[in-house]
Structure formats: C-alpha cells, structure tokens
Amino acid sequence: MLIVPLFSLLLVPLILFALFTNGALSSWWLANQLIDYFTALLSFFQNYWINISHPIACWVSVMLGGLFILLMYWVYQRKHQPRGVYDYLKPRRFSLKSDRSLSPILYRNICFIALLGVISASIGFALQLLNKPNWQFETLDIGQGLANLLIKDRHAILYDTGAGWKESNMAEIEVIPYLKRQGLQLDWLILSHDDNDHSGGASAVLQAYPEVKLMMSSQQNYGKTDRTFCQQGVEFQWQGLQIKALAPKQIVQRAKNTHSCVLLVDDGSHKLLLTGDADIAEETQFISQLDKIDVLQVGHYGSKTSTSKALLDKTHPRIAIISAGRWNQWHFPHKVVTERLKQYQSAVYNTAILGQISLLFYPDKIELDSARNPYSPWFEQVVGKIPD
C-alpha cells in the first residue's frame, strides 16, 4: 500500500508531463528509472507478504470494525446534554485524541458506517456457512489451457495447471494465488498429460506445495519421484468422493492427448467426468465403463478430435464445461462440437465468455456461478455476448 502514494505523487505526474511535452527534460528516462526503483523496492518485500484467505478477511474485518466502534465510544463518550447552536458549529474534523470533541452528527455517522460494515461482513460470512455446498468444481479462467479444482471442506485437488513459458506460468499467476485466497489445502496434483498447456505450471505447484501427492499418466516426474500413476482401474476416495481412473490403459514415457488421465468423480448423487485432452480414439477405451453423468469437462477445448457422438450417446451430460482462450487461433470450441452437445440437451458453458466457472454440488441440485454474467459491467463483457 505504501507504494501507491509514490506512484500517485511521483510517477503519474511525470508520465503525464512526458506525454504532453513529448519527453522533454528526459522525462521518459526518469519515469523508467522510477519504475525500476519501485520494482526493486517491491521485490525486496515479495517474500514477506501475509496471505489472508477470504474467510479470515471477513473475521478480521468484523473484529477491526468492532474494535473501532469500541474505541470511538471510549474516546468520545460523554454525558448527554441539551445540544445548542455551538454543538452544530463545532469543527467536523475527526481525531482520536481524548481532549478533542466531535460533533454529535459526525459521531453518529461514523459509528453507523462502522457498524454497517461489521453487520455486512457478518451477514456475508453467515450466508457462506449456511449456503455451503457439499463440494464444488472450479474451472479457472487461464486462457488457452486447463486448470480444474475439486474442493471440499477447504481441501482441494488440482487437475492440470495451465500453460508455462520462460518467465512464468499460469500456476504462479492464477492457480496458486487462488488457492491462497480461498484458504485451501492442496492434497493432490493430477496431470492429465504432459503437454505444456496442461502441465506447464506443474513444477511451480510442486515447489509451492512440496507435500502434495502427484498423479499422472506418464513416467515424467517434474522433480517429484514419489508419485501415483493414473491408469485404468485405479480408484481412491477423497473427502467422501469416489474417484476412478478410466484411462489410459498403460503408462507411457511422455503422455500426449491420447494418453490423458480420464477420471470419473462420483459423490453418490452426481457424476463428473474429467477428460483432459482425450481424443476419440481414447474415448473408445472407456465408454463402456460409463453411464449417464451430470457434468462433462469437454475434451481438448471442444476440438473436433474429442467429444464423440458415441460418448454423448452413453453419458448424456446435463452440463458441459469448456476451458478455452478467447479468440484463440484454433477457433475452439468447434461449432460441430457445441452443436452436438446442444443436440443432447447439454447446457454449454465456456470460460472464454464467462470467465471462471463454479459448479456447486448439493444433495439434490447443482448450482452454477461465473465470474462474468449479464449484470457484469460493460468492460467485462467485451469478450462477447453472455449466454442466456
């Protein structure tokens, strides 16, 4: 927060001066130097940030608001006296010095605003507890890549990490910060296969969570030798959910699309199928093990090479989730696939349009939420029309 005044008072005026004077007095060079200094200052503190999850932030807000109200009462309490003209002419400046007075109107307004904040935070936290789903499935908005989260009771399984590149990766930019904001304990990292758009952030996740269990369908290890192989028939329970590997049939040295780790998640009432980038050839290996499902993670961003008619004939998913980058060069999802899904009465949702997609699983229903919706500001909807 201390860096904000420095940007506001020094950098912003300097950049405006450079814009209007076409870089007079070496203003662009000075601005660049300031940015370098500020960046160095921030990098010094980057290992000292305190990560506070949303639930803890609610509690902290409630406690600080309550303490502020008590402090106001202790500092400014006084005997009730008839108010004269002088009371309304007192300076309306705020101070916590015990020898300073505060106009009754300003005193009441400050206490009211603080109390309103405390009540709002308390109601928000209570509603979260009362409306808590049994578990949830998150498809993170990471552009052209895949990163899914299974979440239950503050524990999580991460299925794929999104892409990576030389300087960074989507795990560091989106996935890990989200886990920390939500206060989640990561139990498993499951990689569908070894393509960069699915496993590019694996090393970053393993570094941030060294105790996490690793499951994959190849001999790659990403620096972690203790791992579980995803192979047809492997089955385990996690937080009351039954998770079964349907494919691949054998482990390979390096897993490609056709070797994707395909998982069926079953809570006894609902079924979710995670397909990674499984192509039609791999789908034929596990279709016989399926019946009707509730949610399908559409394979390979909705490419024509996945989500066959045979798969949909067997599963009839109610909800189809697509993770894709907006305006991606491959034009995923392919219209043939989305039309095919609609023919089976599947509701299709795409992160390219809706942003992060959340599915909340209750005993008798599934609720959907998304980062963007018809009520989002116009600048959040420039990515395209929000589906009805």
> Into how many domains does the chain fold?
3
> Are 25 and 125 in a shared domain?
no
Question: Which of the 8 DSSP states describes residue 7?
Answer: I
> Are 211 and 298 in a shared domain?
yes
Per residue in 104-139, pLDDT tens?
Answer: 788 788 888 888 888 887 887 777 778 889 999 999
Per residue in 175-228, pLDDT tens?
Answer: 999 999 898 999 999 999 999 999 999 999 999 999 999 999 999 989 888 899
Return the sign of the alpha-carbon dihedral for residues 94, 97, 102, 104: positive
H or E element, residue 160: none
> Distance of alpha carbon 63 from its chain centroid, rounded?
26
Q: What is the CATH number of the domain that holds 336?
A: 3.60.15.10
Residue type, 211: E
Cα–Cα distance measured from residue 191 to residue 252, given in angstroms and rounded to the nearest whole number:
13
- pLDDT band at residue 239 using 50, 70 and 90 as cut-offs: very high
> Are 283 and 153 in a shared domain?
yes
Question: Which of the 8 DSSP states describes residue 318?
Answer: S
Distance set, CA 35 to CA 9, 324, 364 (Å) = 13, 34, 54
Domain finish residue from 131, 149, 182:
131
So what's the pLDDT on residue 46? 65
> Are 124 and 39 in a shared domain?
no
Average pLDDT over residues 314-323: 98
- Concatenated DSSP letters for 227-240? -EE--TT-EEEETT
> Are 235 and 270 in a shared domain?
yes
- pLDDT band at residue 88 using 50, 70 and 90 as cut-offs: very low
So what's the pLDDT on residue 270? 98
CA atoms within 13 A on the CB side of 319: 22
Per-residue tokens: 248:
């691949």
Residue type, 222: Y
- pLDDT band at residue 37 using 50, 70 and 90 as cut-offs: confident
Question: Which of the 8 DSSP states describes residue 315?
Answer: H
* CA torsion, ordered 227, 232, 234, 239, to nearest 10 deg: 90
Per residue in 253-299, pLDDT tens?
Answer: 999 999 999 999 999 999 999 999 999 999 999 999 999 999 999 99
Helix or strand or coil: residue 149? Answer: strand
> Are 267 and 334 in a shared domain?
yes
So what's the pLDDT on residue 223? 87
> Are 316 and 186 in a shared domain?
yes
Is 263 contained in some domain?
A: yes
So what's the pLDDT on residue 373? 81
Distance set, CA 183 to CA 152, 201, 203, 324 (Å) = 12, 20, 21, 26
Is 88 contained in some domain?
A: no
Instruction: Say if residues 138 and 362 touch (Cβ distance below 8 Å).
Output: no
Cα–Cα distance measured from residue 127 to residue 282, given in angstroms and rounded to the nearest whole number:
43
10: how many CB neighbours lie within 10 A of its CB? 15
Is 150 contained in some domain?
A: yes
Cα–Cα distance measured from residue 239 to residue 319, given in angstroms and rounded to the nearest whole number:
23
Residue type, 232: Q
The answer on pLDDT for 49 being more than 70 is no
> Are 22 and 152 in a shared domain?
no
Cα–Cα distance measured from residue 110 to residue 116, given in angstroms and rounded to the nearest whole number:
10
Per-residue tokens: 38:
């500020």
> Are 205 and 280 in a shared domain?
yes
Cα–Cα distance measured from residue 208 to residue 93, given in angstroms and rounded to the nearest whole number:
47
Is 60 contained in some domain?
A: no
Tell me the residue range of the domain where 122 lies. 102-131
Return the sign of the alpha-carbon dihedral for residues 124, 125, 131, 136: positive
Is 315 contained in some domain?
A: yes
So what's the pLDDT on residue 385? 63
Instruction: Say if residues 257 and 300 touch (Cβ distance below 8 Å).
Output: yes
Instruction: Say if residues 216 and 190 touch (Cβ distance below 8 Å).
Output: yes
> Are 295 and 372 in a shared domain?
yes
Instruction: Say if residues 368 and 359 touch (Cβ distance below 8 Å).
Output: yes
Return the sign of the alpha-carbon dihedral for residues 266, 271, 275, 278: positive
Distance set, CA 152 to CA 65, 126, 176, 269 (Å) = 30, 18, 17, 15
